[in-house]
Amino acid sequence: MSSYKTKKSHKLLEKAKQVIPGGVFGHYKYAIRDTGPVFFSRADGAYFWDIDDNKYIDLMCAYGPAILGYNHPEVDEAAKSQSGLGNTVSLASPVMVDLAETLVNMVDAADWALFGKNGGDSTSLAVMIARAATGKEKIIKIRGGYHGVAPWMQEKGSPGTISSEADHVLTAEWNDLESLEKILENNSNEIACFISSPYNHPVSRDNELPKEGYWHNVSILCKKHGIVLIVDDVRAGFRINLSGSNVAYGFTPDLICFGKAIANGYALSALVGCNALKEAAEKVYFTGTQFFSAAPMAAAKATLLELKKSNAANKMNDFGKKLNNSLIGVANEFGYKFIVSGVPAMPYFRLAEVETKVHFSWIDECVKRGVYMLGYHNHFVSTVHSEEDLATIIQVAKEAFTRLKKNY
């Protein structure tokens, strides 16, 4: 398989730098590699094409949103149909109520729903509701956990933030109940909430599933100390269990944050919660001009119904298991130890017992042959990744390992 050229992408990047700080901003800028694509021209199903007209099997799914694949016909038609009636209007649309009912019926812990645009909207709103309900200020998060770009979430010293904005955020270690208990002992009656993803999926590190009984014991501690338990399901939502990732791990949170995959790429996020927090949720003022846009809500309703109809979580995890086992086997053929962590539908890959640059070189070689991956982030499986795609990925992986052997 020939190696892709990406001259147009990098020429446009230089042009972009004249009018956009960095040329590409936010989390997308960290994905830019010297030989990789930067700008897409179109996308469809499990694939996108860059502006050099190279086709890629996308194992990032736009960092998670494209759970049903790009340009899903039912989802796009739902959004188009609603746009024809109206999108952002001076009143709320009935589709907002329909979507809330869909979530309440689907998500095990949901008695009500509120909406935003990004996952960070949901996490920030969840923290505000927890504070309003408890009258407390401090937040407990997991070390390395990511819950958006709000100042309370960023590390002290991050550009544009002041240290006091993170003073009320306390950090516990993942899977370590003793760490959590120590924080509670030292900060009794000050903790508003505990926020965590359902399993630990940091960047640039192996992902970790919860130990047996971890979430059960966390739930007990939160109830004992009057702490609101928040699950950030923005990244993993609907890929582990359609009723909420917490269901797979046997516990019930007070609030669940959704985003990314909820509308298959249309800009929408959601916060769902229990009746005990409904009054606090009504009192908190958190809004935005586009929060009531109806087309993304219609897309979200169509996405959720399609996920349910297609038994999506099982389908994605089945494909993920095949993908992961295949890559482990191919790596072994070439004498490499290939580590896969996390859940099968969101695998984090790492070449072990080699320098980090070797791992990134293997990723680069795969990308240059049409399989889009990142070296520092978990990947995402969609419902439209096929057996044919799997065969191509395996072939590309073999070619990339062959190249690696020559270079190292």
Q: Does position 1 have pLDDT exceeding 80, yes or no? A: no
Kindly give, in sequence order, each residue whose CB lies less than 8 Å from that of residue 209, ignoring residues fewer than 6 positions away. 199, 200, 342, 343
Domain residue spans of the chain: 7-70+312-407, 73-309
CATH number of 73-309: 3.40.640.10
Q: Which has the closest alpha carbon to 131: 186, 190, 218?
A: 190
Select the more confidently predicted residue: 291 or 2: 291
Q: Does position 361 have pLDDT exceeding 90, yes or no? A: yes
The owner of tokens 């680069």 is 364
Model confidence over 89-103: pLDDT tens digits? Answer: 999 999 999 999 999
Q: Does residue 23 contact residue 10 with C-beta atoms inside 8 Å?
A: no
Q: What is the predicted pLDDT for the residue at 185?
A: 95
Portion of the chain with pLDDT greater than 90, in percent: 95
DSSP 208: B
Which spans in 334-367 are helix H?
356-367
Mean pLDDT of the chain: 97
Q: Does residue 39 contact residue 9 with C-beta atoms inside 8 Å?
A: yes
The owner of tokens 């990723």 is 363
How many C-beta atoms surround the C-beta of residue 25 within 10 A? 10
Q: What is the predicted pLDDT for the residue at 2?
A: 80
Q: What is the predicted pLDDT for the residue at 327?
A: 98
Task: State both tokens at 341.
Answer: 């962590």
Model confidence over 379-406: pLDDT tens digits? Answer: 999 999 999 999 999 999 999 999 999 9
Q: Does residue 230 contact residue 128 with C-beta atoms inside 8 Å?
A: no
pLDDT band at 194 (very low <50, low <70, confident <90, very high): very high
Model confidence over 21-33: pLDDT tens digits? Answer: 999 999 999 999 9
pLDDT band at 152 (very low <50, low <70, confident <90, very high): confident
Instruction: Produce one character per residue of 173-190: b if its CB has 16 or more CB atoms within 10 Å, e if not.
Output: ebbebeebeebbeeeeeb
Enclosing H/E stretch for 272: strand 269-273
CA 211, CA 214: separation in Å to the nearest integer? Answer: 5
Are β-strands 348-352 and 47-50 bridged in parallel, bridged antiparallel, or unpaired?
A: unpaired
Q: Which has the closest alpha carbon to 372: 389, 352, 386, 384?
A: 389
Task: State both tokens at 135.
Answer: 């009258």
Enclosing H/E stretch for 165: none
Q: What is the predicted pLDDT for the residue at 363?
A: 98
Task: State both tokens at 64.
Answer: 């998670």
How many C-beta atoms surround the C-beta of residue 106 within 10 A? 17
* Domain 7-70+312-407 falls under CATH 3.90.1150.10: yes
Model confidence over 35-46: pLDDT tens digits? Answer: 999 999 999 999
Q: Does position 55 have pLDDT exceeding 80, yes or no? A: yes
DSSP 63: G
Q: Which has the closest alpha carbon to 215: 187, 254, 177?
A: 177
pLDDT band at 242 (very low <50, low <70, confident <90, very high): very high
